[in-house]
A and B are shown apart, each in its own frame.
Chain A
Amino acid sequence: MSLTASDVKRIAHLARIEISEQETGQALAQLNEIFKLIEQLQSVDTAGIEPMSHPLGGSQRLREDVARDQPGRESLMKNAPAMRDGLFIVPRVVE
């Protein structure tokens, strides 16, 4: 299997990363090399094997649904690239 330039553009869009024509070509060559490595997995017989999503298995622990102290809004927003009146500023999304 090998990727095409349009695959690369499609996944770059899915990943929301702008990619130029020149970068598409470079990425295509590198990704195809990496996928050659990954393709080795296809020949492994994994019938009846439980997928391992986590080293120690078990289920995710849930915490009590109780209010706790959190850093305040100001400290959480201080790294925002653009903010006003406690809101994050982005380009208009609703016409």
Chain B
Amino acid sequence: MFEKSVAELGRALLAKQVSAVELARLYLDRIGRHKELNAFLDVRPEVTLLQARAADERIARGEATPLTGVPVAHKDIFVTRDFASTASSRMLKGYMSPFDATVVEKLGNAGMVTLGKLNCDEFAMGSSNENSYYGNVLNPWDTSAVPGGSSGGSAAAVAARIAPAATATDTGGSIREPAAFSGVTGIKPTYGRASRWGMIAFASSLDQAGIMTCSAEDAALIFNGMLGFDPKDSTSVDRAQEDYTRGLTQGVKGLRIGLPREFFGEGLQPDVEKAVREALAEYVRQGAKLVDISLPNAALGIPVYYVIAPAECSSNLSRFDGVRYGHRAAQYGDLDDMIKKSRAEGFGPEPRRRILIGAYVLSHGYYDAYYLQAQKVRRIIADEFQQAFGQCDVIAGPVTTSVAFGFGEKAADPVAMYLSDLYTIPGSLAGIPGMSIPCGFGARNRPVGLQLMTNYFEEAKLLGVAHQYQLATDWHKRLPPIVSDR
């Protein structure tokens, strides 16, 4: 049962082949047997089973949605009333939110059953999940490799099938990169599609929620329950509700797939390039056309990102003062000393580093040179995407330059770590939808992801293009050895 997709689980529940309680127990048992992955930070079976019983009653009443009774786990960036919400930080150890994030609430309203909270990089800052206060998450395909980050727990949980789906968030690639490293399907929608209410803020002009699943079809089903206008989020986009599954049956014949030259240049490892080129050849077999395009300033995305994201993070994280909630130092003098010590102890090295960068680029005399200049270059990059979409319908390329790296390989060198988001940051800066789907294996049998991007609000098309590939291939159905073993 655990290798079934969200779509299949939903159908099995409706047909009463399995109950929501049985499914919840099955996944809770699997979570317990894969504790070594450290994917989950908080599991409360009594809460999960209560939700599952409610789902079963709803199914019995004939009021079920296609998601009712299907389990889901949430990245520990979304606040939840019934599970601790920590952002994987010491700062929020044991924090119990008075409310649920809108994304959590919406999926709950659709009848999904929460399995628990997933480990991630602290405050979603990182590309390897090595920045969690609660320890590393292991990559189910190769436990000596990182699962990617920041949504590492989400990716590992879906890869190991200890959750059929998991929420995730993207600021500069935190859904696509771990999805690629861990061999699952991950998608971020257009900025503004998913509510940011109750999503612990990192960089507000970039943060966007998405989903990790076993397939594009599953992501489309969950998007139907998850996305939509939220008056509580001032940057939520007010558009009519859509059916994100409507593009799934659309073939790719005549589809123009743009390949940015800059994504196939120096630095791209041959094993990743080979898997990506083979995936593109599959699209050509199905009748798509490959188009050479250019995003000339894509590489500047990294410096732009490392001004804007830290600037916004230093502002957002200023709320943690040890007064109203969060960590307070045990010993301190006056109020200022209490705040300084609490923040020094509560934040790990990466948030501290980014807060310092942000405080500097926003400080008097430097704002124009850094933050404003970065915002202008951000516009240049976003405009280049618009020019590219004049020549193609979808943009495709690698997600990462290499397959998952090993623990400790980049941890001591922040700049090397930052460069691993080269291909994902540009799309995040523009705010367009982006996706990673499994397309093979590279060095040491570690997964490779194919990146697909479309223009604003074209999630249905994006999911359809991904689904057409998954109809013809089975990379997304492969299971890591630790799953087949037990």
Contacts and interface: CB of A to CB of B under 8 A. Distances in A.
Interface in A80-95: 80-82, 88, 90-93
Contact of B98 (A31, A75, A82): A75
B343 A55 contact: no
A10 to B, nearest CB: 8
B344 interface: yes
Contact of B235 (A11, A27, A54): A54
Measured as residues with beta carbon below 8 angstroms from the partner, the interface class of chain B is: 35 or more
Contacts of A31: 353, 356-357, 360
B234 A60 contact: yes
B302 A17 contact: no
A50 B376 contact: yes
Contact of B415 (A14, A27, A37, A55): A37
A76 interface: yes
Interface stretch (B2-10, B38-46, B320-328): B320-328
B96 interface: yes
Nearest to B414: A30
A37 B361 CA distance: 13
Contact of B380 (A38, A49, A91): A49
Interface stretch (B165-173, B209-217, B367-375, B471-479): B367-375
B460 to A, nearest CB: 18
B314 interface: yes
A92 B338 CA distance: 11
A77 B360 CA distance: 32
A93 B335 contact: yes
Contact of A90 (B302, B323, B357): B323
B456 A56 contact: yes
A49 B379 contact: yes
Interface stretch (B16-24, B110-118, B303-311, B401-409): B303-311
A12 B14 CA distance: 56
Contacts of B369: 42
Contacts of A56: 190-192, 235, 237, 431, 456
B373 A19 contact: no
Nearest to A77: B324
A75 to B, nearest CB: 4
A68 B103 CA distance: 20
Contact of B376 (A37, A51, A92, A93): A51
B304 A17 contact: no
A7 B374 CA distance: 21
B303 A41 contact: yes
Interface string A7-28: 1100110111111000000010
A50 to B, nearest CB: 6
Contacts of B237: 56
A2 interface: no
B96 A16 contact: no
Contacts of A27: 352-353, 356
Contacts of A60: 234-235
Contacts of A67: none
Contacts of A6: none
B205 interface: yes
Interface string B332-371: 1111111111011001000011011111110100000110
B332 A71 contact: no
B449 to A, nearest CB: 23
Contacts of A77: 324
A30 B456 CA distance: 36
B306 A38 contact: yes
B302 A37 contact: yes
A17 B379 contact: no
Contacts of B375: 51-53
A93 B335 CA distance: 7
A7 to B, nearest CB: 7
B335 A90 contact: yes
B414 A52 contact: no
A44 B63 CA distance: 57
A49 B373 CA distance: 9
A20 to B, nearest CB: 9
A55 B431 contact: yes
Contacts of A14: 359, 363
B300 interface: yes
Given A51-B376, A60-B234, A78 B96 contact: yes
Interface in B451-472: 456
Contact of B205 (A50, A55, A79): A55
B340 A18 contact: yes
16 contacts: A11-B356, A11-B360, A12-B359, A34-B357, A37-B415, A38-B306, A41-B370, A41-B374, A49-B380, A76-B98, A79-B96, A81-B322, A81-B328, A90-B323, A91-B335, A93-B335
Given A11-B360, A16-B318, A18-B344, 5 more contacts: A3-B360, A17-B340, A33-B415, A52-B382, A56-B237
Interface of A: 3, 7-8, 11-12, 14-19, 27, 30-31, 33-34, 36-42, 44, 46, 49-56, 60-61, 63, 71, 75-82, 88, 90-93
Top 4 A-B pairs, shortest CB-CB distance: A55-B431, A51-B375, A81-B328, A46-B376
